[in-house]
Chains A and B, each alone.
Chain A
């Protein structure tokens, strides 16, 4: 299943990755090879086979509704790229 440069652009946009022109072509080639490789799955007969999302037969544990996390804003924001007045900053978003 060949992927062309345009599709690479679309996927890169979905994944929010900036990719240069030459890189786009290289990725198109690589992605095509990888997708080609995984195509072989199509040949396996999976009629009536259920998905395996988790290796173990387990169900979700429940947590009691009690507060356990203290306010650590200063510690967390000490490693943030940009904050102001306790808020994380990003370029102005127009809605």
Chain B
């Protein structure tokens, strides 16, 4: 059962081959047995079983939809009412929100069963899930390596078959990069497609929630459940949600114009294994009838520096609310107000978070704003314009998701800039607000490699269609890590 996709599980449930309660029990047991992966921060067996029972009852009444009774997990950045939401941080170690995130509301309404909250890089800042206060997550393919980040827990949970799907968030690649490193599929929708209400904010103009699962079809099913207008998020777009599965199915690889950015292909520091897997993938697209051509994104090389000004700047402000006054961690016996702030924050936040807060504070401070933040926002527009030009001649852009496969735990932890370069192919997408996904495309040194596909604004249907088409002619996405019991 744990190898099955959502689509397959839904069919099995509908045929009565299993119940949601059984699926949920299995998931919880598997989570327990795989605790070494450290993919979960909080598991909620009781509420999950209650939701599963309700789902089975709904099915009996003939009221089941594509997600009814399917066990899923939420990245611990989504506020879940009554359930601890830690964001991977000591600051929120004991935080129990009195409200649900929009995404949580929607998926519950669709009948999905939430089994728990997955581990993540602290406040979504990281590319390896090593900055979590709750310890690093292990990659199910090779437990000495990282699963990627920041949605490392969700990725590991899906890759290890603990749940068929999980939610993640992506600010600079945090869904796509872990998906690539763990051999699963993950989608970051267009900015504004999914409401950010109830998601602990990292970088407001870049954050977006998205699905992580083991096939493009599953991503479509989940996205259908997650997308929708929410007036509580001013940056959320009021635009009808199409039938993603239908659009996906209606997309043909034949004649699809696929662009390969020269800058990605010529990038330095890309593993040979990654390059060859991605080459093979583009060839597979060609063989299936896609028109593959070279394009150029001249400012792509500036994406990472732009991001590492804008994201920390927004984050430094977003994280100011964590001050030990109304919720969250408070230091012991503060001497005065300054002491309360400094020690609650100094003790509550980990190193990477403090580093980024300081970079952001610096970039916004008097005298530096124009040179850093102001400049970065201008270059951001250039990056966006590059994509706009590219999409005049192609439908989808392809390339590697990450420059390397899963690296050993601890390898990059001491070198922040090196760690930041893991996002070299994913970051530009967030700057422009475009949708993009990663699907498994083979292996390098025995470790999964991801193919990234980038679509035009609100073109998720066609983007998923391209990925789905690729998954019809390859079976990388059906590969599972070796079972370790």
Contacts and interface: CB of A to CB of B under 8 A. Distances in A.
A31 B338 contact: no
Contacts of B325: 80-81, 88, 90
B231 A17 contact: no
B433 A49 contact: no
Given A30-B416, A91-B335, A55 B433 contact: yes
Given A34-B417, A44-B379, A54 B358 contact: no
Nearest to B349: A17
Contact of A11 (B231, B336, B362): B362
Contact of A33 (B339, B345, B358, B416): B416
Interface of B: 95-96, 98, 191-192, 205, 231, 234-235, 237-238, 299, 302, 304-306, 308-309, 316, 320, 323-328, 330, 334-343, 345-347, 349, 351, 354-355, 357-359, 361-362, 365, 371-372, 374-382, 384, 416-417, 420, 431-434, 457
The residue in A8, A17, A31, A91 that gathers the most chain B C-beta atoms within 10 A of its C-beta is A17
A61 B232 CA distance: 10
Ranked nearest first, the 6 interchain pairs of A and B with the lowest CB-CB distance are A55-B433, A18-B346, A51-B377, A18-B342, A52-B381, A46-B378
Interface in A27-78: 27, 30-31, 33-35, 37-42, 44, 46, 49-56, 58, 60-61, 63, 72, 75-76, 78
Interface string A17-28: 111000100010
Contacts of B359: 31, 34-35
A57 B378 CA distance: 15
A7 B406 CA distance: 36
Which secondary structure characterizes the binding site on chain B?
helix
A42 B417 contact: no
Contact of B381 (A18, A50, A90): A50
Interface of A: 3, 8, 11-12, 14-19, 23, 27, 30-31, 33-35, 37-42, 44, 46, 49-56, 58, 60-61, 63, 72, 75-76, 78-82, 88, 90-93
A16 B345 CA distance: 7
19 contacts: A15-B357, A16-B323, A19-B354, A31-B355, A31-B362, A34-B420, A44-B375, A44-B379, A46-B378, A46-B379, A51-B381, A56-B191, A58-B192, A58-B235, A61-B234, A75-B98, A80-B325, A81-B328, A82-B330
Which secondary structure characterizes the binding site on chain A?
loop
Given A16-B338, A27-B355, A37-B417, A88 B326 contact: yes
Given A17-B342, A40-B302, A76 B98 contact: yes
Contacts of A63: 231
A41 B306 CA distance: 7
